[in-house]
Chain A
Amino acid sequence: MTSIAPEGRLRGRFRFRWVRPEWRTPLAVVGAAIAIVWILVAIFAPLLAPHDPLAQEFVPFSPPSREHLFGTDELGRDVFSRTLYGARISLPLGVLLVALASTIGGILGAIAGYFRRWVDATVMRTADLVFAFPAILLAMVVTASLGPGLRNAVLALVIVAWPSYARVVRSLVLSVGDSEFVWATRLLGASAFRSLVREVLPNVVGPVLVLATLDIGNAILLLSGLSFLGLGAQPPAAEWGSMVATGTQFFQQWWMGTFPGLAIFTAVLAFNFMGDSLRDVFDPRTARESRERL
């Protein structure tokens, strides 16, 4: 059965086989479970939340109780409902951010790695330049000058985040592009473009996906950080970072900042658990092989 499968299929199956066992590690399972819970919360927030996240209809500053699990905030809004609704901002935007950054960075990196010479130099020096500024500072400057708001915050973070994808994809394309099976397709008459798309890119997608999963956590962190600074989500939006920011102003009412912060923490942790387990696949020295060797 394996011997007559077309080459592409075989490679696909091969990829599948070594991803699967890694998903069975407890860390990955826990991470996936938390992530699924948050995704469900994001989808079903209107059904799960006991109150309207924006309704200012309760006694302000009430501590957690059975009526208000996470208490109420300074305007008398239900913190529990707001925290649930917060998932509808952070998760989709985190994924969107990573998707944009990895696509843009990936395309630029692939072009740089495949065509080399001045294209390579231009793209990579630009990436170096972005790397020379700490992410949050650059993102802050960009958001502040574009005007605060979630859309601009995402845009700013894409500008900050694409270079790491460009670097990874470029180095992968450089190494895969020199493999014998790629040369073989070129010798069989495939065009440069075809060999890039059909042979090189499929081998690059895996690592980039891992990097992207790992990065979703980071994206959520950075985005909520910008919102915490008042540059992302604007009031009255129920966004985790800006809720923590309000919490710092009323910090004796610990519940106002603690619970939304906990939400960020668990969501980011979930993606980092999954990403870390997946990463072992690509760095066998730290995982399985060393186990066998010693």
Chain B
Amino acid sequence: MLPRLPLPPFVRFLLRRAAALVLLGIGITLVAFLFTQVVPGDPVSANLGEQAAADPAVVKAFRERYGLDDPLPVQYLTYVGKLLEGDLGISLQTGEPVRTNLGTFIPATAELAILSTLVAVLVGVPFGVIAAVRRNRLTDHALRVVSLAGISMPTFWIALVALYVFFFRLGWFPGGDRLDPGVLSPPHKTGMYTVDALLAGQWSAAWDALHHLILPALVLAAYNVGLLTRYTRTAVLEVIGNDYVRAARAKGLSEPSVLVRHVLRAALPSVVTVISLVFANVLTGTVLVETIFAWPGIGQYAYRSAVTLDLPAIMGVSLFVAVVYITINFVVDVLYGVIDPRIRVT
């Protein structure tokens, strides 16, 4: 129970959610830390050469240097302290700081994830509205089958089929990577090639980057189109039978106007809450899709780290993803509170 502060309810709502965010953050770092403790593998032999590991004096110095003999809680605090400085350790596979690796890989995935989410929203939400409006008619049934098919297809399989058909057979799209071999990457600003190329005014490079993005983005969107169609349909059906919708119709508003201003306005909050789910799906998908499309993003990085047991890298990716994920959840919560004032009180 928070004491009743003399603050407006919305600020209190924000504070409460932010406190939950901090708690979750502590939990996540704790999990990540415990993982590094539980997982078999000796940091001494992993980081020192064989000769050095055989020398007790070197080992002792190493353990002291990295505080490996400190009690666990102290080690945890050291760990969090490093995290706060942005130090995620050294990746075993690349030999570079995990932070540097993430810096190069995140923009590639971000580009892919953003485009894919955009496609999913632009297709899935209208599909859901149409399905709801044409409830129990042929269109609704057809869209239902389509959306169920969307959530039933293994992403890695659609990727394979799409690559075979549109790259190998038809040659409409490139078969992987972010740019054609001859194209130079645009000057680094955001790391997202499409954006960077546009900022630098390199139109052909921008087109090339987009061209490489389209197929993986569409493949990633398939699951979320299905998901959003189903959620939007449900959300719209929940409000479409309300009296105020009937009243809007009765006062002579056109059907599109009723749909957009009264139905969608009320249905939107529940659709917004799904966005965190959509984002989680996109990330799940990138792990599978990036491997197939040779897309140098964090999905592929995570996968390679997992199979090589590159613990600092895995933890770096997990922490990053978890932080983004809970931040999105926080933003969605707040947005929900903004759109629907009733939420703020509970």
Known A-B contacts A244-B154, A286-B234; the reply to A276 vs B24 at CB < 8 A is no
Is the C-beta of B260 less than 8 angstroms from some C-beta in chain A?
no
Cβ 8 A contact of A134, one of B135, B151, B283 = B283
Residues on the B chain within 8 Å of A265, using CB: 149, 152-154, 157
**Smallest distance from the beta carbon of B159 to chain A beta carbons, Å?**
8
Interface size range of chain B in the complex: 35 or more
Say yes or no: B157 contacts A229, CB within 8 Å. Answer: no
Task: Name the CB-closest residue of B to A217.
Answer: B152
The CA-CA distance from A248 to B167 in the complex, in Å, is: 13
**Smallest distance from the beta carbon of B84 to chain A beta carbons, Å?**
18
The CA-CA distance from A268 to B164 in the complex, in Å, is: 22
Q: For residues 244 through 292 of chain A, which have their beta carbon under 8 Å from a beta carbon of chain B?
A: 244-245, 247-248, 251-252, 254, 257-258, 261-262, 264-265, 268-269, 272-273, 276, 283, 285-286, 290-291
Q: For residues 182 through 235 of chain B, which have their beta carbon under 8 Å from a beta carbon of chain A?
A: 230, 233-234
Say yes or no: B160 contacts A132, CB within 8 Å. Answer: no
The CA-CA distance from A55 to B5 in the complex, in Å, is: 74
Say yes or no: B303 contacts A229, CB within 8 Å. Answer: yes
Find the residue from B148, B168, B230 having the highest chain A CB count within 10 A: B148
Say yes or no: A293 contacts B153, CB within 8 Å. Answer: no
The CA-CA distance from A217 to B303 in the complex, in Å, is: 23
Is the C-beta of B284 less than 8 angstroms from some C-beta in chain A?
yes
Is the C-beta of A135 less than 8 angstroms from some C-beta in chain B?
yes
Say yes or no: A258 contacts B161, CB within 8 Å. Answer: yes
Is the C-beta of A141 less than 8 angstroms from some C-beta in chain B?
yes
Say yes or no: B40 contacts A145, CB within 8 Å. Answer: yes
Say yes or no: A251 contacts B24, CB within 8 Å. Answer: no
Task: Name the CB-closest residue of A to B242.
Answer: A293
Is the C-beta of A187 less than 8 angstroms from some C-beta in chain B?
no
The CA-CA distance from A286 to B128 in the complex, in Å, is: 12
Q: Which of A41-49, A81-89, A189-197, A220-228 contacts B (4 or more CB under 8 A)?
A: A220-228
Is the C-beta of A172 less than 8 angstroms from some C-beta in chain B?
no
Say yes or no: B160 contacts A248, CB within 8 Å. Answer: yes
Say yes or no: A132 contacts B326, CB within 8 Å. Answer: yes
**Smallest distance from the beta carbon of B311 to chain A beta carbons, Å?**
8
The CA-CA distance from A290 to B237 in the complex, in Å, is: 8
Is the C-beta of A100 less than 8 angstroms from some C-beta in chain B?
no
Say yes or no: A229 contacts B153, CB within 8 Å. Answer: no
**Smallest distance from the beta carbon of A288 to chain B beta carbons, Å?**
10
A-B contact count (CB 8 A): 151
Is the C-beta of A96 less than 8 angstroms from some C-beta in chain B?
no
Residues on the B chain within 8 Å of A264, using CB: 154, 157
Cβ 8 A contact of A221, one of B154, B237, B303 = B154
Known A-B contacts A251-B168, A257-B160, A265-B157; the reply to A135 vs B144 at CB < 8 A is no
Residues on the B chain within 8 Å of A283, using CB: 234
Say yes or no: B318 contacts A276, CB within 8 Å. Answer: no
Contact flags A211-240 to B (C-beta < 8 A → 1, else 0): 000000100010011001111000000000
Cβ 8 A contact of B160, one of A27, A136, A258 = A258
Q: Which of B27-35, B51-59, B86-94, B96-104 contacts A (4 or more CB under 8 A)?
A: B27-35
The CA-CA distance from A285 to B40 in the complex, in Å, is: 51
Residues on the A chain within 8 Å of B144, using CB: 27, 276
Task: Name the CB-closest residue of A to B31.
Answer: A129
A residues bordering B, Cβ < 8 Å? 27, 125, 128-129, 132-138, 140-141, 143-145, 148, 217, 221, 224-225, 228-231, 241, 244-245, 247-248, 251-252, 254, 257-258, 261-262, 264-265, 268-269, 272-273, 276, 283, 285-286, 290-291, 293-294
Further 5 A-B residue pairs, CB within 8 A, beyond A248-B160, A283-B234: A137-B317, A145-B35, A230-B307, A258-B160, A269-B152
Name 22 interchain pairs, CB-CB below 8 A, sorted by A.
A133-B322, A134-B280, A135-B284, A137-B283, A141-B314, A141-B318, A144-B314, A217-B152, A228-B288, A229-B287, A244-B156, A244-B160, A245-B156, A248-B292, A251-B164, A258-B160, A262-B157, A265-B149, A265-B152, A276-B148, A285-B234, A290-B135
